[in-house]
């Protein structure tokens, strides 16, 4: 993966990431967010994949159900101190994929292996954003407290 800082202001930084064949999107974006010490960001990407692992959340079982053959947020873990954030970042990503016929499938992303490329625009937020567990679903949701 290659990256470039393309804008910087009091509102945050904006990057362009270019992923290459064989890169795994979730791992690369998470690693980038941690190395740049991003406290909160959002990203969009366009590209192609050789394989994908997508799922949908089943609220009854409180588990993810994988989508056969198949826009994101970056936050700190709940309770993190924004003045001294931990190394780990959390990603929450959904995508829509299409095949050669134009048929689409969508879901929560667990893994996307890039082939041949993926272009990601990532925009940092000037504000701290963290997630906390929603007691009803058990999911990590953005906390505004």
Alpha helix positions (H), the chain:
25-35
Q: Which domains does the chain have, with CATH numbers?
A: 2-126 (3.30.1330.80)
pLDDT at 71 (0 to 100): 65
Would you state the structure tokens that stand for residue 64, as one six-digit string? 């993810």
Given a cut of 70, the residues of the chain with pLDDT beneath it are 69-71
pLDDT at res. 132: 87
Q: In this predicted model, what pLDDT tens digit does every residue of 10-22 receive, in sequence order? A: 999 999 999 999 9
Tallying the residues shown for the chain, one arrives at 145
pLDDT the model gives residue 113: 96
Q: Are 123 and 9 in contact (CB under 8 A)?
A: no
- At 69 the pLDDT is 55
96 strand-pairing partners: 106
Please state whether the peptide bond connecting residue 116 to the residue before it is cis, i.e. omega within 30 degrees of 0: yes
Q: How many CA atoms lie within 13 A of 125 on its CB side?
A: 14
pTM of the shown model: 0.87
Confidence at residue 36, expressed as pLDDT on a 0 to 100 scale: 96
Of 44, 43, 45, 51, nearest in space to 99 by CA: 51
């Amino acid at each position: 993966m290659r990256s470039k800082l393309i804008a910087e202001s009091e509102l945050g930084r904006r990057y362009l990431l270019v992923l290459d064949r064989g890169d795994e999107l979730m791992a690369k974006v998470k690693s980038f967010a941690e190395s740049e010490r991003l406290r909160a960001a959002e990203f969009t990407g366009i590209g192609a994949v050789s394989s994908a692992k997508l799922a949908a959340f089943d609220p009854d079982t409180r588990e993810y159900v994988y989508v056969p053959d198949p826009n994101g947020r970056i936050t700190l873990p709940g309770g993190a101190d924004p003045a001294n954030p931990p190394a780990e970042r959390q990603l929450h990503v959904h995508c829509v994929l299409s095949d050669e016929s134009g048929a689409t499938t969508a879901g929560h992303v667990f893994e996307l292996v890039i082939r041949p490329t993926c272009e990601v625009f990532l925009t940092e937020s000037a504000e701290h954003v963290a997630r906390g567990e929603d007691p009803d679903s058990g999911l990590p949701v953005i906390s505004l407290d």
